[in-house]
Amino acid sequence: MPSDQTPIGSDETANIEVRRWGDQYIPKTAYLPHWEIGEKLGILSFERSVKLAQSRFVTLVGAGAALERALIQFMLDQQVAAGYIEVLPPILVNSTSLMATGQLPKFAEESFKCDQDDLWLSPTAEVPVTNLYRDEIINADALPIYHCAYTPCFRREAGSYGRDTRGLIRLHQFNKVELVKLVHPQTSAEEHQTLVQNAAAILEALRLPYRVVELCTGDLGFSAAKCYDLEVWLPSADCYREISSCSNFLDFQARRGNIRFKEAGQKGTQFVHTLNGSGLAVGRTMAAVLENYQQADGTVRIPEVLQPYLNREVL
């Protein structure tokens, strides 16, 4: 059930903007959308990817591949420094895992399934990382548990109906760094606020303008009790676009996955609270970098924090 603090509304128009950051970094002039920038620079190939798979896939070439890899490494480095323990989980997950975190049965049509096995391509690292602790009783002293994980993610986008057919915003395969928390129920509200800031810190370090939006009941995800979206500024669209959803599931996923903890000296067990959020969606971050850092001569400046990873200042 939604949290008592979640705004009531029927759809995204009732979401509440909490704050904005980085207005001073919004480009005064928008030149090109990110897919045109990438194609002109020769770092993104969409047409050849159709030959390899189908539409809504991309191949990154040269500096494009290096930029994606740099973003992943930078995000992981930042979150490990913030106290998260990195894991690299399986990309294929079973139905029980998807049921525990709430993707099944509701979102079966959104996922790719292996026909000969009870295995699915993971839609997000939230699934395998949360399920690491399925059917376990955790010592209360071990809480909170923080994990970050880089994985490729796979989604059919069955309900997108032609939206974002160009570019990096809505692909069938994309990279993401995920943040997952297992916490004591008494601290989950505070942990949620910290999770949002951990994700936002990546955007601030990259100097990408963003806003935080609190989702209303009608726009809330199936499993979440409370959720904040981080939306990054995309000059070509002249609007903010979602780049991270930071959700508090309370004990919903823990009950489905039977993830409990035990206080010292007490007989019974309690369900943990689970939280997660993207830290961040890598392709959307690349799109935001290309658009916000493009220059009139067609080049793209590299954000200062990424320059040591790429050994260059300009694409």
For 186, the token pair is 């008494």
Q: Indicate if 56 belongs to the active site.
A: no
Q: Which amino acid is at 170?
A: R
Active site residue: 170, 241, 255, 301, which one?
Answer: 170
Sheet with 260-262, edge to edge strand ranges:
137-139, 260-262, 270-271
Active site residue: 188, 245, 247, 278, which one?
Answer: 245
Quick check: 173 and 156 in contact, CB under 8 A?
no
Active site residue: 155, 211, 256, 260, which one?
Answer: 155
Strands 145-154 and 173-183, bridge-based pairing: antiparallel
d(CA 228, CA 17) in angstroms, rounded, equals 9
Sheet with 226-234, edge to edge strand ranges:
16-21, 210-214, 226-234, 239-248, 273-281, 173-183, 145-154, 85-87
- Give the CA angle between residues 255, 261, 264 to the nearest 5°: 155
* 305 sits in which H/E element: none
Q: Indicate if 284 belongs to the active site.
A: yes
Alpha helices (H) in the chain, listed in sequence order: 34-41, 47-52, 63-81, 95-101, 126-131, 188-205, 252-257, 282-292, 307-310
Q: Indicate if 242 belongs to the active site.
A: yes
Active site residue: 110, 242, 255, 301, which one?
Answer: 242
Q: Indicate if 170 belongs to the active site.
A: yes
Q: Indicate if 155 belongs to the active site.
A: yes
3-class SS string, 180-228: EEEECHHHHHHHHHHHHHHHHHHHHHCCCCEEEEECCHHHCCCCCCEEE
Neighbours of 225 (CB within 10 A): 22
d(CA 254, CA 199) in angstroms, rounded, equals 23
Active site residue: 211, 256, 260, 284, which one?
Answer: 284
Could you give the residue numbers annotated as active site? 155, 170, 242, 245, 284
